[in-house]
Amino acid sequence: MKSEGHPNYHYIKVVLTDGSEFYTRSTYGEEGSTLNLDIDPKTHPAWTGGSQHLLDRGGRLTRFNSRFGNLGIGAKK
């Protein structure tokens, strides 16, 4: 049986963008390494609710709505 089949889990420090930190087990780096995040749940729009509008790049959304907008999918009956 292989003894090297599992990754080496160890404790690291994770530093969020606001400077807060926590310790977790990870395969990142070595024991005691620090992982500095550029994006985290406190600042990213996907978690904060910002920028939830759809961008119409190249008119694709407009073309889709003109072709299939009359189907009424999701409309209240």
In a domain, 37, yes or no: yes
Question: Bigger pLDDT: 67 or 23?
Answer: 23
Q: How many domains does the chain have?
A: 1
Task: Say what the pTM is.
Answer: 0.54
At CA 35, angle to CA 29 and CA 41, rounded to 5? 135
Put residue 52 in one of left, alpha, beta given phi > 0 → left and psi -120 to 50 → alpha.
Answer: alpha
Read off φ and ψ for residue 11, nearest 5 degrees. Answer: -85, 135
**Domain with 11 in it:** 1-46
Could you tell me the CATH number of the domain that includes residue 41?
Answer: 4.10.80
Question: Residue 14: its pLDDT value, please?
Answer: 95
pLDDT tens across 1-55, in order?
A: 567 788 899 999 999 989 999 999 999 999 999 999 988 877 777 777 765 555 6
Question: Residue 72: its pLDDT value, please?
Answer: 63
In a domain, 5, yes or no: yes
In a domain, 17, yes or no: yes
Return the SS3 of 14.
strand
In a domain, 8, yes or no: yes
